Structure 1
Amino acid sequence: MVLEFSLSVVSAPLLSFVVAFFSILWLIKGKALRVLDYPNSRSLHAVPVPRIGGIGLMCGVLTAWILFSAVLPVSVWVGISLLLVISLIDDIWSLPIWCRLLIHSLAAAGFSTMLLLDMYGWVAVFLTSIVIVWMSNLYNFMDGSDGLAGGMTVIGFGYYGLFALFSGHNEFAMINFSIAAAAMAFLLYNFYPARIFMGDVGAIPLGFLAAVLGILGWIDGLWSLWLPLLIFSPFIMDSTVTLIKRGLRGKKIWQAHCEHYYQRVLRSGLGHRNTALLSYILMLAVGASAMWAAYQDSSVQYWISVIWSGIYLTLMLVSDRYQRHYSSKE
C-alpha cells in the first residue's frame, strides 16, 4: 500500500505535541493556575498532585486544529468548548452531578441533532446522545491510574488516524493524530510517577471526541460503527460492566469508588507502572485486530468481536474470583 499524505499530517501533530508539552510544564511549574488533587480513601496516589493537565493537552489539540484549519462540524467545536468550561469549573469547585450532566447532554444532543436528525430521526438522535454522554463520563471514570487514560488516548486516536490515513483521508488523519500527539506529551508527565493528572477538563472532552470522531468516521464511510467501539473497548467494557454491577447492588453509580477492574489490578500489587503497561498491550492488540478485521468480510468482523468479548469476560471472571479469594483471607 502506497500512502500519500499532506505535510499537515506530520506538522499539525508535531505542533500539537510541542504546545501541549510546554503548556503542561507551565501548569506543573507555575502557581497561577495550580489546582491540586488531594489523596482520599479512594485515591490511588499518596501525595497532592496538580490535576488540570487536560488544559495543556487540549491547548495543543486546539492550537493545531485552528492553525491547520481542521474541518469539523460546528457542533463539535461548540461541544468541546462547553465541556472544557464546565469541566474546568468542576475541577476547581466541584459542581453537582445534575449541572455537569446537563451540559454533557447539551453538547451530545447538539452534535447528534445536527448530524443525524434529517437522515435517521429523533430515535437515533436520542440513542446517540446517550452513547456520547456515557463515553464522555466513562473516560473520566477510567482516568484514575498513572498513564492509563493518556495511553488510551495515544493508542485509540492513533488508530483512528492510521485508519483514516490508510483510507486516504488526510484531513481526518491530521485531526486524530493531533489528539494522539498531545496525549503523548501529557503522558511524558503522567506516566508513573505522575507529576500531573488529566482532570475532568481533559477526560470529559476526550471521551466526547472518542465518540463523535468515531461517529464522523462512520458518517464519512471510513469504518463501520463496531470499529470505534472495539478500539476503545478496554475503557468501555471496564466502566460499563463495573457500573452495571454497582447499580444491581443498589449503589449510586455516580459516586467515586475503587471497584473498576483496573483499580483492582493496581491494588493487587502490580502498581501503576505495570498496570499501565499491561493495559497498553491490551489496547494495542485490540486496535490492531480492529484495523485488520476492517479489511475482512463481515463474518470475520463478527468473530473478532465475539473473541474479544470472550477475552474480556474471562479476564473479568478471573479478577472477580481473585477478589473474592483475597477478601475471604482478610
Structure 2
Amino acid sequence: MSALVPVLAFVVCWLVLAGLLRRRHVLPMDHPNARSLHATPTPRIGGLGIMAGIAVAGAWLADTALLPVLLGAFALAAVSLLDDARGLPVRVRFLAHFVAAAGCLFALGLTGWALLVSTLAVVWMTNLYNFMDGANGLAGGMAVIGFGTLSVAAWLGHAPGLAAFCAAIAAAALAFLRFNFPSARLFMGDAGSIPLGFLAATLGIRGAMTGVWPWLFPLLVFSPFVADASVTLVRRALRGEKIWQAHRSHYYQRVVLLGATHRQLALGAYALMLAMAALALVLRASPPHAAWVLILSAVIYLTLFLVIDLRWRRLRHEP
C-alpha cells in the first residue's frame, strides 16, 4: 500500500496548486528585486502544494523516527509562509531554523558535539536550498532528483518506509514543476524551499544514522546546490560583501545573466544533478571507491565553475 503514497502526494499537490491559482488576485506575490532573475510579479505559493502532498504522505507513513522530521518541517513551513505573506525579521527566521533543527536532531538521538555540528549543517542546508530557489525549475528539479535518489537508496537499504516518504516528496515536487517549468505560473516560495532544505538534511542524517547510506551519500546527492551556495558564500565573504543581502552572484544566476534561458539552465542543472546522483549511488554501492568518486565530482565542479568564471570575466572585461 505504501507504493500508492507518492501517487497520492502528486495528486494532492496538483489539486491544491490548481485551486490556489484560481484565486491568483489574493495570493502573496514575488516582486522582482536585486536577487531576482524574473521581471514580473509571480505568486509564491508553490510550497503550499508541495507541503500538502508531504502532509498526506506523513499521515500515512509517520513513525516515531519520522515524526520529529515532519514536525520540524511543518513548523518551518508555517514560519516561512508567514514570512512570504508579511515578512519576518532575519533573527526570527534563523531562530526558528535553529530550534527546529536542534529539536529534531535531539529527538533522533544526537547529543553533544554531534548535535551541535549536525544542527549547523541542517541550518545551512535549510538556507542554501532557499538561496538556490531563484530560477524556473531549479529547486523543484533538485527535489525530484535528490529525494528520488534518496528513495532508491532507501529501498536498496531495506528501509521501505523511508523510501516511500522520499518518493512522495519527489512526487509532490514533480507536480509542482508542472506549474513552474518551463515557464513559471508560480514560484515555490520560502514555504517550500525552506522545509525542503530541512528535509534533505534531516532525512540524510537519519539514513546515515541507521546505516541506510554512508554519511557522504546525501551530501553528494544534493551537492549541485551545496557546492554553488557554499562557494558563493565564501567568495562574497572574502570580498567583504554583506552575505545576508540579496545578490545575483550564484553560478546558476550568472549562467542566466550570460545569456542562457531558464529552460537551458534547468536542463543543464538536471544533467548535473543526475550525474551526482549516479556517483552517489556508486559511492553507496562501493565504499572503497569513495575517494575516486569524490575526486571525480570535485573535478566536475571545478571545471564548471572555472568555465563560468572565465566567461563572466570576459563579459565584464575583468582581468
| TM-score (norm: length of structure 2) | 0.96
Contact 1:116 1:124 in 2 (8 A): no
After TM superposition, the structure 1 = structure 2 runs for residues 13-52 of structure 1, keeping only pairs within 5 Å, are 13-31=6-24, 34-52=27-45
Question: 4+ residue stretches of structure 1 with deviation over 4 A?
Answer: 68-71
Of 284, 287, 298, the residue aligned with 1:309 is 298
Q: Which amino acid aligns with 1:145?
A: A
What percent of counterpart residues are identical? Answer: 47
Distance in 1 (alpha carbons) for counterparts of 2:146 and 2:63:
19
1:55 aligns with 2:48: yes
Match of 2:201, SS? helix
User: For structure 1, which segment, 61-70 or 304-313, has the greater mean C-alpha deviation from structure 2 after superposition?
Assistant: 61-70
After TM superposition, the structure 1 = structure 2 runs for residues 106-255 of structure 1, keeping only pairs within 5 Å, are 106-117=99-110, 121-255=111-245
Residue of structure 2 in register with 1:322 after alignment:
311
The two structures, once aligned, show a CA RMSD in angstroms of 1.4
The count of corresponding residues between Structure 1 and Structure 2 is 318
Distance in 2 (alpha carbons) for counterparts of 1:81 and 1:235:
22
Contact 2:147 2:169 in 1 (8 A): yes
Residue of structure 1 in register with 2:78 after alignment:
85
Q: How far is the alpha carbon of 1:33 from its aligned partner?
A: 5.2
Contact 1:57 1:186 in 2 (8 A): yes
Distance in 2 (alpha carbons) for counterparts of 1:71 and 1:24:
30
Of 95, 99, 107, the residue aligned with 1:102 is 95
Q: Which amino acid aligns with 1:184?
A: L
Q: Closer, same or farther in 2 for the Cα pair 1:304/1:195, shift >3 Å?
A: same
Q: How far is the alpha carbon of 1:125 from its aligned partner?
A: 0.7
Q: Unaligned stretches of 5+ in structure 1?
A: 1-6
Contact 1:16 1:60 in 2 (8 A): yes
Q: Closer, same or farther in 2 for the Cα pair 1:327/1:13, shift >3 Å?
A: same
Q: Unaligned stretches of 5+ in structure 2?
A: none
| TM-score (norm: length of structure 1) | 0.93
Q: How far is the alpha carbon of 1:77 from its aligned partner?
A: 2.6
Q: How far is the alpha carbon of 1:71 from its aligned partner?
A: 5.4
Q: How far is the alpha carbon of 1:68 from its aligned partner?
A: 4.3
Q: How far is the alpha carbon of 1:41 from its aligned partner?
A: 3.9
Contact 1:293 1:304 in 2 (8 A): yes
Distance in 1 (alpha carbons) for counterparts of 2:202 and 2:95:
18
